[in-house]
Chains A and B, each alone.
Chain A
Amino acid sequence: MSLPHAHSRTARPMLGGEAHGHASLHDDCEGHGPIGHLDPRTRLVAAGLFALMVVSRDQIWPLVLAVGLALAAALLARLRVLPTLRRMLAMDGFMVAAVALLPFTVPGDPAFSAFGLTGSGEGLHQAALILLKANAVVLMLLALVGSMNTIALGHALARLGLPCKLVQLFLFTVRYLDLLHREYARLRTAMKARAFTMGTNRHTWQSVGYLFGMLMVRSLERSDRILAAMRLRGFDGHFPCLEEPSRFGRPDGLFALASAASVVLMMSQG
């Protein structure tokens, strides 16, 4: 599988880079591929319905189909292969354990044995279901929503009825992310220059605690300055909720139709 037109979203940010080489956490990545032309709300709602659909299915084939659909969406969104794979594999360690343990904890007909334990076919089946579900949802989420500019996502959330304050909080957070991450990287670099290495000891934990405490103090001061600047521009304690014109158009209609068709297809496989 090759996904052409590598878009600009970076992999997990490298820590310890400096200003020039710094990889941004959330570059603008809108407008790539057919998915990029859809209204953010359409994408959000579709992702939500898809997740609901997937989670409520309990047979292998509809779920395989769902993973296929998610892959198709990823192709259409022009996601880069390697970073996407890495994200999908980055399931938490203990979740991997939870799934890996299933064959041994679900009672049923013995299907295989390992380490002197007998695994059940039913357990294997359930583990497969969970892996398919989790990956289908994550892939679809990355394809439809992850490929969206985070600011656009904020506005879409507002238009879908999320409280204004929550959306403002979201937008402010997005704005601070890069600043925070850069400041974190600079401090970490300076610590490294003083021969600091991470270890399993109190000195490490305390030092990183100080690092985050300092990061917090500086960021809070920055937020004070931002608030002061906002006051200077007439902020009176109320955020106007941003209104963006709807971009719902023919592609969105088509996409909605296609989504509905896929859902029906998935249902009929059960």
Chain B
Amino acid sequence: MAHIPDGILTLPVLLAGAAIGAGGLAIGLKRLAPERIPQVAVLSGLLFVAALVHFPVGPSSAHLILNGLIGISLGWAAFPAIFVALVLQAVLFGFGGLLVLGVNLTNLAVPAALCGLAFNAVIKARPAWGVAAAGAAGAFGVAASMLMVALSLAASGREFLVAAQLVLVTHLPVMAIEAAFTAAAAGLLLKVRPGFLGRGAVAVVVLAATLTAAGPALAHKLTLFASTEGNSVSGHAYFSGGDRAQGVVVTVTDPAGAVLHRLTTDAQGAFSFTASSRADHRISVEGDDGHAAQFTIAATELPDTLAPGAPAPDLQAMIDASLARQLRPLREQLAATHDKIWWHDVVGGLGAIIGFFGLAYGLSARKDKKS
């Protein structure tokens, strides 16, 4: 289940979760017309009841998570609906905790809202695909939530990586269950109460289009790193995901904006130059498609044998500088792996998961039709 208790996550993760959760809640409430409150409350209550249903999975059992169904029914209003259910579960059953409410909300509601966006877009374009899309939303809701739970854990410490992987693996059967479950529930809703699912499709298409446009932009984010050794500065540029950026123009300027050097990265995306003054060096790279990245080498990182630019450094500054020099490679490596985990794993993993379940569901649906 998606209820992380208090005491595991670190403060930054809690804060990030709270911020995203609060933002989503604000949007959800703003778009929620007062007349729809009884409707949303019904679904919120349903979410609460669903958590009491255990499905047997071999010798073990699994909970329904239901955020896919909530998402396709409510869109943005999934945030307040899930929030209320989480508060009630925490207070009445002791599920989850208090300070983690934001993270738990984010982990469940962000995938739900995305399901809503995607589902509405699909149902507008191809109404006949409604049931299959709902099944995919059911699987995606679980997959994305568990991925986010795993990321929340992993971001709180390396020691949780194994547990994070465990979360993902153990929820594979839940995805299958939730896909079949959500497809059935949505099928019934589409038949019995047509028009309830897939409202507000127009605004949603615009949003979805924006999101898809933003996707590649993020996927090709340029990143830049440089370090000093004596008075020579070297670094490299790479894309998120780890690919080196070859033949990209690198510009080095001083604090006043005057261009000191203009270089191009080599086949490994690397570049180097020799600093001639002890001043801040601003390094910037610009890719063909308008992506840019910047990095600053502080004056203190350069040896004081270089004459002009700055006042004589005190001892503290020297220690800082030496520390910075030693820590740099570490920081660089950390940032590289961080970016790598994010985009490769999130996008690739989700894609594979959705594809796999979509295929499985489609095949089984066809088999049913034949028989």
Seen from chain A, the residues whose Cβ lies within 8 Å of a Cβ on chain B are 12-13, 15, 25-26, 47-48, 51-52, 54-56, 87-88, 90-95, 97-98, 101-102, 104-106, 123, 126, 129-134, 137-139, 141-142, 145-146, 148, 150, 153, 163, 165-166, 168-170, 172-177, 179-181, 184, 198-200, 202, 204-210, 212-217, 219-220, 222-224, 226-227, 237-239
Kindly state the separation between the CA atoms of A102 and B153 in the bound complex, as whole angstroms: 12
Query: 7 pairs across A/B with beta carbons < 8 Å?
Result: A55-B11, A92-B3, A126-B159, A134-B8, A141-B97, A175-B41, A206-B184
| Residues A165 and B58 in contact, CB atoms below 8 Å apart | no
> Known contacts being A54-B7, A166-B80, A200-B56, is A141 close to B90, with CB within 8 Å?
yes
> Known contacts being A166-B25, A209-B180, is A91 close to B38, with CB within 8 Å?
no
| Residues B160 and A169 in contact, CB atoms below 8 Å apart | no
- Interface-side segment among B107-115, B186-194, B210-218, B332-340: B186-194
Closest chain-B Cβ to A186's Cβ sits at a distance in Å of: 12
Report A-chain residues with C-beta under 8 Å of the C-beta of B90. 141
> Known contacts being A12-B52, A133-B6, is A220 close to B42, with CB within 8 Å?
yes
Number of A-B contacts (CB under 8 A): 243
| Residues B188 and A209 in contact, CB atoms below 8 Å apart | yes
**Dominant SS among interface residues on chain A:** helix
Report B-chain residues with C-beta under 8 Å of the C-beta of A220. 39, 42, 193, 196
> Known contacts being A12-B93, A87-B93, A209-B182, is A169 close to B37, with CB within 8 Å?
yes
| Residues A52 and B49 in contact, CB atoms below 8 Å apart | no
Nearest residue (CB) in A for B176 is: A205
The residue from B11, B33, B37, B43 contacting A168, defined by CB atoms under 8 A apart: B37
The residue from B41, B56, B87 contacting A176, defined by CB atoms under 8 A apart: B41
Closest chain-A Cβ to B84's Cβ sits at a distance in Å of: 5
Q: In the complex, which range does the number of interface residues on chain B fall in?
A: 35 or more
| Residues B5 and A180 in contact, CB atoms below 8 Å apart | no
> Known contacts being A54-B6, A172-B37, is A142 close to B94, with CB within 8 Å?
yes
**Dominant SS among interface residues on chain B:** helix
Q: Which of B80-122 contact A (CB under 8 A)?
A: 80-81, 83-85, 87-88, 90-95, 97-99
Which are the 10 A-B pairs with shortest beta-carbon distances?
Answer: A209-B184, A133-B7, A213-B188, A172-B41, A98-B163, A213-B185, A223-B38, A205-B180, A87-B94, A134-B5
Kindly state the separation between the CA atoms of A141 and B98 in the bound complex, as whole angstroms: 8
Closest chain-A Cβ to B371's Cβ sits at a distance in Å of: 12
| Residues B98 and A47 in contact, CB atoms below 8 Å apart | yes
The residue from A130, A142, A202 contacting B364, defined by CB atoms under 8 A apart: A202
Nearest residue (CB) in B for A120 is: B159
B170 at the interface (CB under 8 A from A): yes
| Residues A92 and B1 in contact, CB atoms below 8 Å apart | yes
| Residues B91 and A95 in contact, CB atoms below 8 Å apart | no
Which has the most chain B C-beta neighbours within 10 Å: A202, A212, A237?
A: A212
Nearest residue (CB) in B for A208 is: B181
| Residues B34 and A51 in contact, CB atoms below 8 Å apart | no
